[in-house]
Amino acid sequence: MHFRPFSIRLRDGPPEIQAIDKRFDTRGMIELTNLSKNYGDGACVRALSNVNLRVERGERIAVMGPSGSGKSTLLNLVCGLDQPTSGSVKIDGLELSAMGDDARTRMRREKIGMIFQTFNLLSTLTALENVALPLRLQGLRRRETDQRASAMLERVGLKDRAQHRPDALSGGERQRVAIARALIFTPPLLLADEPTGNLDSTTGEEILHLLDGLHREYNCTILLVTHNVLAAHHCDRVVTLRDGKVVQEVRSTPASDGRR
């Protein structure tokens, strides 16, 4: 820990210094300390209770647990969409509660990609426009946003579907579009809430293999909320929540079928 002040100063330096700095880098990608979240007053719901969790850079974590155990609450706190009742959330070493709204929004845009069970694509936009949207919102020019979105669609295997709207795509294809959109800024952290929940098992497995490949390529940290036991085999560690508490944490043995 005593390297930290030194480390923060060097992080802004030239690449060769940053490379040295990385060896002393003690920041986890996600650090949750005594994290609690209550909803409502009086007889309130304790959705999360004293959760401590550290996720290293490049690590893949599956969060499992029954419905209502606090999984989505955890994701909302990690991405800064909701605020904890008590405790701390650090993303890439940055304490979220110390940030203003603008800084938190910027952090989410630059550091976090999100995918959801229901894909959350805009139905009036084509696949290409959906993927390009975050870039357009940044004010980048059409030609550049289309090029980058097109390359990302190709990466997820949807080059031929660029001009289709979501209702002309299958569930698996929609999730691929959503993944391409989530990764358009190549964020260091990918959060997924039940990404295979609306897909049949074969399509779900294809999506998990796609995430494996993207993880290898970008070395992003992945936090995957899932009911799918098979999904755990695509992660390094499985954390189980029950009634808002971490009740189990086990190392997983990632599948080694040669396709990872």
The footprint of Mg ion (CB under 5 A) covers 71-72
Beta bridge partners of 44: none
Partner in contact with 68, chosen from ligand ADP, Mg ion, none, beta carbon below 5 to 8 Å by kind: ligand ADP
| CB 242 to ligand ADP: min, Å | 10
| CB 74 to ligand ADP: min, Å | 7
Measured from the CB atom, the residue of 76 and 88 that comes closer to ligand ADP is 76
| CB 231 to ligand ADP: min, Å | 15
Show the 3-state SS of 4-58. Answer: HHHHHHHHCCCHHHHHHHHHCCCCCCEEEEEEEEEECCCCCEEEEEEEEEEECCC
| Closest to 61 (Cα-Cα) out of 241, 255, 252, 237 | 237
Partner in contact with 150, chosen from ligand ADP, Mg ion, none, beta carbon below 5 to 8 Å by kind: none
Question: What is the CA 183 to chain-centroid distance, rounded?
Answer: 9
Cβ 194 vs Cβ 116: under 8 Å: yes
The amino acid sitting at 66 is P
| CB 252 to ligand ADP: min, Å | 19
Measured from the CB atom, the residue of 71 and 174 that comes closer to ligand ADP is 71
Measured from the CB atom, the residue of 45 and 81 that comes closer to ligand ADP is 45
Partner in contact with 258, chosen from ligand ADP, Mg ion, none, beta carbon below 5 to 8 Å by kind: none
Tell me which residue has its CB nearest to Mg ion.
72
The residues binding ligand ADP (CB under 6 A) are: 39-40, 45, 47, 65, 67-73
Task: Fill in the DSSP letter of residue 115.
Answer: E
Question: What is the CA 168 to chain-centroid distance, rounded?
Answer: 26
Measured from the CB atom, the residue of 37 and 71 that comes closer to Mg ion is 71
The amino acid sitting at 34 is N
Please state, in angstroms and rounded to a whole number, the distance separating the CA atoms of residues 148 and 166.
19
Angle 107-113-115 from CA coordinates, rounded to 5° = 140
| CB 86 to ligand ADP: min, Å | 16
Measured from the CB atom, the residue of 74 and 153 that comes closer to ligand ADP is 74
